[in-house]
Structure 1
Amino acid sequence: MSEPRWFKSSHSANNGSCVEVAFAGDGVLARDSKDPAAGRLSFPFAAWARLLRSTR
Structure 2
Amino acid sequence: MQRICVVKRRSIGGIALLGFIIGLIIGGTVEVFAMCLCRAASKADKGMDSTDSEE
Q: Which has the larger radius of gyration?
A: 2
Where is the strand percentage greater, Structure 1 or Structure 2? 1
Where is the helix percentage greater, Structure 1 or Structure 2? 2
Q: TM-score range by the shorter chain?
A: under 0.3
- TM score, norm. by length of structure 1: 0.25
Identify which of structures 1 and 2 has the higher relative contact order when contacts are C-alpha pairs closer than 8 Å and 6+ apart. Answer: 1
- TM score, norm. by length of structure 2: 0.25
